[in-house]
Structures are given as structure tokens and as C-alpha cells.
Amino acid sequence: EKLEPAGIKVVRLNNYLADQMDEELRILAKIFGKEQRAEDYLTWKQSIEQILEERTKDIPEEQKKTVLALSAGALNTNGKYNIYPTSTLDGQAGPGEGYATILAGGADPTPEILWDATKSSTTVNVEEEFVLTANPDVITLHGNFFGGYDAQDGTSFTEVLNNVITNTAVSQMTAGKNKDVYMFYTNFFGSDKGYIGRLQLGKYLYPENFEDIVVEDYINEYFENWLGVPASGVWFYGAK
């Protein structure tokens, strides 16, 4: 508002809220005159989202696995439990990492934890006892200090996983006992490429529903067909 009187147009894009991602891409495409390219990409993206939806839609609520999304950095560094909520105070979709667990076919073990979208942080800090009581079936950990385009193997993931499972209360939870702890590079779960990470989480949660799906094929297609660069990197990793 302060810049517009000076003739400077300002466009703000969140680029991390799953329910806004497509429309934000269309806005960006219009700015750069790439509308058709964007529509072609969205058709491809939505076909992947459709796979996930079709293969999880008939799972009864009582059979869905409970999934808790946590900040890997806070837990790994100082044992803090920072939850990504699945919804906002006013009932809208929560931040990318939290809402993604619902889109992947999971259930929320902490529905009382809600996100205040006016705050800069996308997580809510809770006490360890609260998470122990919630006792999720599955835990997802998120950050951008492990994996990535230049990663050649899962070493950086393994170091964090071993520390979390060994030195926090995660080992006392169902997720930790069963080693249902999964790590995702932020952009491949809670941000612009989240649709690919969500498909992988769906496969982690319900492998029998996704036996014919190779998520890495979509990663390769994304880099090679849409970005025009070699496919590379490690983007997610499981404790199992």
C-alpha cells in the first residue's frame, strides 16, 4: 500500500499453502506471460494429486493413521516439539506441512492445536507431555538442513533421525517404537513441490494402496521435463 502511490505494483505470494498454490502460480505465470505453460504444468501436477486422492478417499476415518508434523530443527537441536497445525483458528487449511498430512490420508492426533495465520511462525510449541499423550502413529519431520538437490545419499537424514529417536521422547511413542518416522525436505512437502511429498507420505502410510507407484519417477519428470535440468538429490527418508 505504501509503494502503490509511487506507481510500484506489489504482488505477494505465500507459496507454501496447499489450497492457494495453483492460483498463485497462475498469477506468477500472468506476470511473466507464461499462462499456457502454467496450465500445462498444473494439469500434470493435478494428475499426481488425483492419484493420492483416489487411493486414500475410501479409507474409513477410524482406520486412518494419526500423523504429527514436527519441525526437525527444533526437535533435533534442543528437543522442542513445534507442531505444524492442520488448520487455522478460523477453520481454514493450516500451513503446508500440517495440512499435507490430511491430504495424504492421515488423521490429526492434535486437532486442538490451531494455527494463528497472523503470526510469522507456522508452528505451535507444545510440551513433551502433550505429544506423549497424543502418541501419534506416524511422525513427519521437516526442514531444509538435510537432503536437497546436491545430496547423494541419506547420510544427512540418518544423522538427524538417529539423534531424534535416541535422545528424545519420540522413542516412547508408537511412531518411534515402530520406526514410522519420516523426514521431508521442506519444499517437497510443505511448499511448491509438496504434491510429490504428499504422494510419498501416502505410500508410507498405506503401502498396499501404492504398490505400483514410484514417486521418484515424478521427481525425475519434474526436474527434467519442467525445469530442464538433470534430476538429482534426496528429498525424503524413512527410519525403516
Residue 231's H or E segment, with its range, is: none
pLDDT band at 12 (very low <50, low <70, confident <90, very high): confident
The per-residue pLDDT for 15 is 81
The per-residue pLDDT for 50 is 98
Q: For residues 197-213, b (16+ Cβ closer than 10 Å) or e, as one string?
A: bbbbbbbbbbeebbeeb
Closest CA to 105 of 227, 209, 217: 209
Residue 70: φ, ψ to 5°: -125, 155
The per-residue pLDDT for 154 is 95
Question: Is residue 154 exposed (0-12), middle (13-18) or buried (19+ Cβ within 10 Å)?
Answer: middle
pLDDT per residue over 110-163, tens digit each?
Answer: 999 999 999 989 999 999 999 999 999 999 999 999 999 999 999 999 999 999
pTM greater than 0.85: yes
Helix pair 96-103, 194-205: axis angle to 10 deg: 50
The per-residue pLDDT for 48 is 98
Mean pLDDT of 60-77: 95
Closest CA to 100 of 19, 204, 15: 19
pLDDT band at 76 (very low <50, low <70, confident <90, very high): confident
The per-residue pLDDT for 240 is 87
Give 71-100 as a DSSP string: EHHHHHHH--EEE--SBBTTS-B--HHHHH
* pLDDT reading at 92 higher than 90: yes
pLDDT band at 9 (very low <50, low <70, confident <90, very high): confident
The per-residue pLDDT for 83 is 97
- d(C-alpha 192, C-alpha 17), whole Å: 9
- d(C-alpha 170, C-alpha 179), whole Å: 10
pLDDT per residue over 185-211, tens digit each?
Answer: 999 998 899 999 999 999 999 999 999
Cell of 88: 487455522
The contacts of residue 220 (CB under 8 Å, 6+ apart) are 231
